[in-house]
Amino acid sequence: MSDRHRPVSIPVVTGPTASGKSQLAHELARRTGAEIISADSRQIYRDMTIGTAKPDTGMLSEVPYHFIDERDITQEFSAGDFAAEALRRIETIIGREKPVIVVGGSTLYIQGLLEGFSDLPEKNPAIRKRLEEEYRTIGGETLYERLRDCDPRQAATLDPTKSQRLIRSLEIIEITGKTVTELHRQRKRPPEHLKFYPLALDMPREKLYRRIEQRTDLMIEQGLVTEAEKLYTRYRELLPQSPPNALMTVGYKELFQYLDGEVTLEQAVRLIKQHTRNYAKRQLTFFKNRSNVDWIAAPDDRNSSKRTIELLSQRFFPA
């Protein structure tokens, strides 16, 4: 077997939001000299820093990161885009004889990387504009029923409020004559020599929820309201009808409600905490339904973190 196609072990550090996966992956990368592939669908966007819990400037100077601050907010970047580009970069990193660590909790990104991705068509502006107008005039429920009639399996992965995915699913049907489910059956699989090992961090649910609340409070102290206000001012005209998908992120959309005068700041913060807990539940459901995920205890202090890093180093990057 050539060196180029020699099996390469790649840990994928994942789990629910606020479980500590980013810090663990960073420390593991520092120890092993690895480069990090960020599988976070929001950290790739510029100007969304506090609310997406991006690595700080110190961390970025210590370890090479990929998919951080690489897109403008109005540029869409799908799970398929990520999977294809991530595989290319992983091959390049391996070619430099460097280890690779994947870290993130965006389930579609993780799924696309581990299981393969589909070649989906480019957007059709005319079809999309018409579907967006239909969504506004006849409502998401009607479009959702249309999708359920054509592609019940894809419909089961979303609901009428997920306007971007709903419209995209219908758009794909009109462009290709095939459903998203049909196209997914033609997935491009990752190369066999790349051996991905998903590791999900586990902690008691009550502790996870406390960490979510504490992190939300810290984000507010760090200036999340000011960050959201700048985005609100810049994209205000787009928000009512066709907001960029990136701005529909928990932490920003609730503060946009506050800036619109719909809720108080205190109510917005409570909503951020609630919606983040809901997001963590969905992530846990996704990972618990995957039989190949290796659950490991999330480190809760410096000593347990050191032990975990030592074990992972020996397992994936033996000297």
Known binding residue 18? Answer is yes
Can you tell me the distance from the alpha carbon of 195 to that of 284, in angstroms, rounded to the nearest whole number?
Answer: 23
Known binding residue 20? Answer is yes
Known binding residue 291? Answer is no
Q: In what order do the strands lie in the sheet with 65-66?
A: 65-66, 35-38, 100-103, 8-14, 194-202, 294-297
Known binding residue 17? Answer is yes
- 34-40-44-47 Cα dihedral, nearest 10 degrees: -120
User: Which residue, among 19, 187, 3, has the nearest Cα to 113 in the 3D structure?
Assistant: 187
Can you tell me the distance from the alpha carbon of 79 to that of 316, in angstroms, rounded to the nearest whole number?
Answer: 26
Known binding residue 242? Answer is no
Known binding residue 21? Answer is yes
Listing DSSP states for 201-258 in one string gives EE--HHHHHHHHHHHHHHHHHHTHHHHHHHHHHHHTTTTTTS--GGGGSTTTHHHHHH
Residue 15 contacts residue 200 (beta carbons within 8 Å): yes
**89 SS3 class:** helix
User: Which residue, among 273, 235, 284, has the nearest Cα to 14 in the 3D structure?
Assistant: 284
Q: Phi/psi of residue 36, each to 5°? A: -105, 130
Known binding residue 38? Answer is no
Binding-site residue set: 15-22
Binding-site residue set for substrate: 17-22
Binding-site residue set for ATP: 15-22
